[in-house]
Amino acid sequence: MNANISDKLPSFEQFVNLHEASGLIKNKKGSYTREQLYQAANNSWYHISIYDQNELIAFGRMISDGVYQALICDVMVNPSYQKQGLGKQIIEELLKKCKESGIQSIQLFSAKGKQHFYKKLGFEERELDAPGMTLVI
């Protein structure tokens, strides 16, 4: 594999293809079009992409105030490339950006069943007396 990393937003087609291949689109709460999901990625504070040749094989993004809070979301790896360290590499690149910007508080949205992966990278589940909360309207 000849992987290269970029902080440029992938093309619409590349993004949509990875989103669907990874299965992440099924985990979304609410109904969003492909165009809306791409616009969300475009509106992110920072995003990172990994390519094999010209194929987008991994992607992750963050939203942030740029000062002290960041939220990692939409980390996805093409199933054909999983178990090769690409998800870890995406997280490391996102955390590097936070460190460079002085951001110390980093939250994370995880797909169902992926908590163990993030725990290995140092993330902790929220305390029971301080749970994160969600409202879908």
- Catalytic (active site) residue 81: no
Single-letter amino acid, residue 132: G
Output the CA–CA distances (angstroms, integers) from residue 25 to 15, 77, 121, 134, in the order listed: 11, 12, 24, 18
Of the candidates 38, 46, 51, 118, the residue annotated as catalytic is 118
Q: In what order do the strands lie in the sheet with 105-108?
A: 3-6, 46-52, 55-64, 69-77, 105-108
* Residues classed as catalytic: 118
